[in-house]
Chain A
Amino acid sequence: MSKSKFLSDTLAVTINEFRVLRRNRTAILLSLVVIPFFFTAALGVGSGGAGTSYSVTAKIPIAFIDDDQTVASGRVYAILARSGDFHQLIQGYREDNAIATLGTGKIYAVIVIPKGFQDRLLNDQVGHITVYVDDSVADLGSAIQGNLLKNLQDFNPRLEVQPVRVGVSSPIEIVARGVKFSGFDVGLTVILGLVIIFATFYEIAGGISRESEEGTYARLAVSPIGLGAIMAGKTFYDLGLNAVRALIVCALAVYGYGARPNTDLLTIVGLSLLMALLTMGFGFIISALGLGVRAVIIVEFFLVLFLFAFSGFIIDRELLTGFSKTISYSLPWAYGIEVIRRAVLIGQPLWTMANQLMFVVVSTVVFYGIAYFVLKISRERLVI
Chain B
Amino acid sequence: MLEKAIETHNLTKVFGHFTAVDGLNFDVREGELFGLLGPNGAGKTTTVRMLCTLLEPTTGTATIAGYDLVKEPAKVRRQIGVVSEGVMLYKDLSIEENLKFLSKLYDLSGEKADQRVKELLEMFDFREKAKRQVRALSSGWTKKALICAAILHRPKILFLDEVTSGLDPQSATALRDFTRNLCNQGVTVVWTTHYMTEPEKICDRVGIVYGGRMIQIGSPNDLKRKVSELSVMEIEVSNLSQETIDKIRSVQEICNLRYEPPFLRISCERDDELTEKMTKTLLSEGVKIRAINTLEPTLEEAFIKLTGGEDEIDRILGRNDTDRQVMKERSK
| Chain A residues near B (Cβ < 8 Å) | 1, 5, 8-9, 11-12, 15-16, 19-20, 23-24, 214-216, 218-226, 379-380, 383-384
Contact = CB atoms under 8 A, between A and B. Distances in A.
Contact of B102 (A11, A223, A379): A223
B208 interface: no
Interface stretch (B72-80, B249-257, B268-276, B313-321): B72-80
Contact of A222 (B56, B87, B89, B90): B87
B106 A218 contact: no
B152 to A, nearest CB: 10
Given A5-B107, A19-B93, A383-B55, A218 B78 contact: no
Interface of B: 49, 52-56, 74, 77-78, 80, 82, 84-93, 97, 101-102, 104-107, 133, 149
Given A16-B101, A214-B90, A224-B77, 20 more contacts: A8-B104, A8-B107, A12-B104, A20-B90, A20-B93, A23-B93, A215-B86, A215-B87, A215-B88, A216-B88, A218-B87, A219-B149, A222-B53, A222-B80, A223-B77, A223-B105, A379-B56, A380-B56, A383-B49, A384-B86
Q: Which 4 A-B pairs have the closest CB atoms?
A: A215-B88, A12-B104, A23-B92, A218-B87
15 contacts: A1-B74, A8-B104, A16-B93, A19-B93, A215-B86, A218-B86, A218-B87, A218-B88, A219-B87, A219-B89, A221-B54, A222-B87, A223-B105, A225-B105, A384-B55
A20 B94 CA distance: 10
Nearest to B109: A8
A340 B13 CA distance: 50
A221 B54 CA distance: 7
A222 B92 contact: no
B52 A216 contact: no
A224 B55 contact: no
B182 to A, nearest CB: 18
B68 to A, nearest CB: 16
A23 B53 CA distance: 30
B58 to A, nearest CB: 11
Contacts of A224: 74, 77-78, 105-107
Which of B74, B77, B87 gathers the greatest number of chain A CB atoms within 10 Å? B87
Nearest to B159: A222
Q: For the complex, would chain A's binding face be called helix, strand, loop or mixed by DSSP majority?
A: helix
Nearest to B55: A380
A3 to B, nearest CB: 14
Contact of B90 (A15, A216, A223): A216
B136 to A, nearest CB: 11
Nearest to A220: B105
Given A223-B77, A380-B56, A24 B86 contact: no
B53, B80, B85, B90: most-surrounded residue (chain A CB, <10 A) = B90
B86 A12 contact: no
A23 B102 CA distance: 17
A17 to B, nearest CB: 10
A234 to B, nearest CB: 14
Given A20-B92, A219-B87, A383 B101 contact: no
B54 A9 contact: no
A228 B39 CA distance: 38
A222 B77 contact: yes
A87 to B, nearest CB: 56
B296 to A, nearest CB: 33
A25 to B, nearest CB: 10
Nearest to A212: B86
Contacts of A1: 74
A113 B177 CA distance: 95
Contacts of A218: 54, 84, 86-88
Contacts of B92: 20, 23-24
Nearest to A1: B74
Contacts of B49: 383
Contacts of A223: 77, 102, 105-106
A218 B93 CA distance: 17
A226 B74 contact: yes
A221 B53 contact: yes
A214 B55 contact: no
Contacts of A24: 92
Contacts of B86: 215, 218, 383-384
A82 B14 CA distance: 69
A8 B109 CA distance: 10
A20 B78 CA distance: 25
Contacts of B84: 218
B95 to A, nearest CB: 13
B101 A12 contact: yes
Contacts of A226: 74
A222 B52 contact: yes
B82 A222 contact: yes
A221 B93 CA distance: 19
A15 B102 CA distance: 12
B78 to A, nearest CB: 5
A379 B77 CA distance: 15
A383 B54 contact: yes
A24, A224, A226, A383 — most chain B CB neighbours (10 Å)? A224
B105 A9 contact: yes
A1 to B, nearest CB: 7
Contact of B54 (A16, A20, A222): A222
Contacts of A379: 56
A379 B85 CA distance: 17
Contacts of A15: 101
Contact of A219 (B55, B88, B97): B88
Given A5-B107, A383-B55, A16 B78 contact: no
A20 B77 CA distance: 24
A221 B84 CA distance: 13
